Structure 1
Amino acid sequence: MEKLYSISFMLFIFLRLAGCTLSVDYVVEMKAECHYVNGTQEVRYLDRHFYNQEEQVYFDSKEGKYIAKTESGRRDADYFNSQKDLIEQRKREAKTLCIRNYRVGELVRGIGRRVTPEVYVSLMPHDDPRSVQHMLVCNVYGFYPSEIEVKWYRNGREETEQIQSSELFHNGDWTYQILVMLETEMEKGDTFTCEVHHSSLKTPQRVDWHPQKSESAKNKMATGIVGFVLGTVFLIAGVGICMRRRKDFLH
C-alpha cells in the first residue's frame, strides 16, 4: 500500500504597479511529496511547482529529472534539467528528506503501531421484562489503529439484520473503542458469538455468550444459592432450639 507525506511551501507575491490603482495577486506554491511503498523499500520523491493553483513543472526521482506539465513549465524544466548540481541535489533529497524522516512520520501518524482489542459481551437490561427481544452488546476497546470489523453470529450463522453500531470512541491513550449491538430473540441452548477482525490479530478474536450463562442468570443462581444456604442455616438452628426445649421439658 502506498503512503504519502507532503510538505507544502506557499509563497504569496503581491504586485503593485507603480502609478496604477490595479492590484494583482499571484500565488506560487512549491510542494515536496514523499511516496512510500512497503515502508522504505520503494520511495518516490516529487518536487512540484504550482502557479495560481495550476501545476507547471515537477521533479520525479523515479525519472531523475524535471517534467513539464504546461507550455510555460517547459522552459523551467529545460532550465532545471540543465543544472546538473540541482538534479543531483533533488536525487539526494529522496534519501535525506524522505527516508530519514520516515521514522518521524511513523511516530506522528502511528504507522506500524498495533494494539490488540479487548472484547466483552454483555446483555443490556430491557425496559419491558416481558419482551421477547433482547439486546446483546459487544464492547470492543483498547485497539489501534482505528480500522476494525465486528460481526455477530448466532449458532454459527452470521447475523446481518438488527445490528447497531456506536460511533468510534477515541480514548485518551490513543486507542479506540466501539460498541456493536445485536437485537435478537433468545432460546435456551443458543450460542451468540462476537467476532472481531483487526490488523493486530493474526486470526479473528471470538467471544461466545450463552443465555443460561448470562449475568442475570448467574445473579439469579447466586441469589438462589444464598437463599438456600440461609434457609438451611435457619432450619438447622430452629430444629436445634426445638430439640433443646423438648429435652428441657422432659427433664
Structure 2
Amino acid sequence: MVSASHGSPGMVQCSVYGFYPRQIRVSWRKNGQEVTTDVTSTQVHSNGNWSYQAHSKLVLPPDFMDTVSCVVEHASFPEPVEHGWVPSMSSSHKCQIIIGVTFLGFGALLFSGSLLFYLLRTVG
C-alpha cells in the first residue's frame, strides 16, 4: 500500500506498507522532474510478519502550482507506481484571498464611481 500525505507546512510524506521482498526504491517528482535534494528517507523496517515498510519525506517551498508525486519501484509491481499529491490551501489562506478580492472589487467600484462623478461634473 502506498500513501502520500501532507505533513507539516512545506513537507509531503510517502509511506509504503506491507511489501515483500525488502528491496524497494522510493523517489520523488516535482512537475515531472525527479527531485533528489531535500529528501529524507527512513531505513526499510520489518513489520515482523515477513513484510516491510518504508517512509520518505520531501521538504519543498509551498507553491500551489506544483505537482508533486512519490514514485515506488518494487518487484511486486509490474511497473513503477506513482502516487500524486494534490496541494490544497488552508482555510485561512482561502479567507485571506476572498477578503483581498472583495476589497479589490470594492475599491474598483469606488474608483469607477468617483471617476464617473468627476467626468459628469467637468463636462456638465
Using structure 1 for the length normalisation, give the TM-score.
Answer: 0.35
% same residue: 35
1:183-242 superposed Cα distances (whole Å, 9 cap, x missing partner): 111212211010000001101001001212xxx74xx49xx9xxxxxxxxxxxxxxxxxx
Of the three residues 148, 162, 166, the one matched with 2:38 is: 162
Is 2:74 aligned against 1:198?
Answer: yes
Which protein has greater RCO, CA pairs closer than 8 Å, 6+ apart?
2
Task: Tell me the distance in 2 between the aligned counterparts of 1:204 and 1:171.
Answer: 23
1:169, CA displacement in angstroms? 1.2
- 2: distance between equivalents of 1:146 and 1:198? 9
What residue is the counterpart of 2:7 in the other structure? 124
Structure 1 spans left out of the alignment, 5+ residues: 1-117, 127-133, 225-251
Structure 1 distance, partners of 2:64, 2:48, is 40
**Structure 1 residue 156 displacement after superposition:** 0.3
Q: Which residue identity does 1:193 align to in structure 2? A: S
- Cross-structure match for 1:135: 11
The answer to whether the 8 A contact 1:189-1:210 is kept is no
- 1:136 CA displacement: 1.0
User: Does the CA-based 8 Å contact 1:153-1:159 persist in structure 2?
Assistant: yes
Question: What's the RMSD between the two structures over aligned residues?
Answer: 1.9
Aligned-partner residue type, residue 180 of structure 1: S
SS of equivalent residue, structure 1 residue 185: coil
* In 1, Cα distance between equivalents of 2:11 and 2:64: 16
Q: Which structure 2 residues correspond to residues 40-55 of structure 1 after superposition, within 5 A?
A: none
Which position in structure 1 is the counterpart of 2:113? none
CA shift, 1:125, in A, is: 2.1
Q: Per-residue CA shift, 1:64-88, capped at 9, x if unaligned?
A: xxxxxxxxxxxxxxxxxxxxxxxxx
What CA distance in whole angstroms lies between the structure 2 residues aligned with 1:163 and 1:172? 27
Q: Distance in 2 between matches of 1:189 and 1:155?
A: 9
What aligned pairs does 1:43-192 form with structure 2 within 5 A after superposition?
A: 118-126=1-9, 134-192=10-68
The one-letter amino acid of 1:169's match is: H
Equivalent residue of 1:187, what SS?
A: coil
- 3-state SS, counterpart of residue 150 of structure 1: strand
CA distance in 2, matches of 1:204, 1:168: 18
For 2:32, give the aligned amino acid.
Answer: G
Matched to 2:5, the amino acid is S
Max Rg structure: 1
Q: Distance in 1 between matches of 2:11 and 2:63?
A: 14
